[in-house]
Amino acid sequence: MLDELKQYAKAYSIPIICDDGLLFLKNTIEKHHIKDVLEIGTAIGYSAIFMAKQGCFVTTFERNEKMIQEAKKNIKSFGNQIELICEDALLYEGSLRKYDMIFIDAAKAQYKKFFEKFSPYLNENGMIICDNLNFHHLDSTKVNRNTRQLMNKIKQFKEFLINHQDYETTFYDDGDGMSITKKVVKK
Ligand code: SAH
Ligand code: MG
């Protein structure tokens, strides 16, 4: 099933997480016994289904109507484990639980906003994982203005994480650049 979704994503240029990124998620989920996940950016449900298969309960946000239709079809048999919220995550005003892990994988220019809005929903020992922090290793002098602005936004977001007093972040080169952010334990 995941293989089929991967082929579909490739055919329609949908930016799903790469194999290496999946492995990173799998290892993190296992190591920290993660059960409840909040995902920002469902796309067609590929990463959500992968995490459900690891035994997680996933609440996931998607705002794009086409993606929502695809995701709904794909997650059908995971009804007990995946809850799809069909809304722009930044406009959502409903309630949420607390999560062991928040996986940020939506609009790259909004990572700081996602972080600020959703970090209060982290369990005490929870962690925030971000994807695509290396931005495909593009050379910023060889891309168009839009892409350069996006790369700049990601750079600013990384600095925001590094300088945050209440959280500590480790960056990894796995996949397309990933990070793990945890609350600083105050002594
Ligand atoms: N996590 C998926 C890939 C997500 S691609 C996987 O690896 O399988 C990013 C998705 O985030 C896109 O489908 C886009 O529509 C969605 N997105 C971007 N900004 C969003 C927002 N503010 N709220 C909800 N979804 C958003
Ligand atoms: Mg991604």
Helices (H), 12-60: 19-31, 46-53
CB 88 near ligand 1, within 6 Å = yes
CB 17 near ligand 1, within 6 Å = yes
CA distance 71 to 187: 43
Q: What is the pLDDT of residue 71?
A: 98
Question: Cα separations (Å) of 77 from 9, 81, 82, 83, 87?
Answer: 19, 9, 9, 12, 21
Q: What is the pLDDT of residue 105?
A: 98
Q: What is the pLDDT of residue 118?
A: 98
CA distance 97 to 144: 40
CA distance 28 to 161: 19
Give the residue ranges of the chain where pLDDT is below 70. none
pTM to 2 decimal places: 0.97
Q: Residue ranges of the domains in the chain?
A: 2-183
Q: Could you tell me which CATH class the domain 2-183 is placed in?
A: alpha beta
CA distance 33 to 126: 10
Question: What is the phi/psi pair of residue 144, to 5°?
Answer: -75, 170
Q: What is the pLDDT of residue 54?
A: 98
CB 15 near ligand 1, within 6 Å = yes
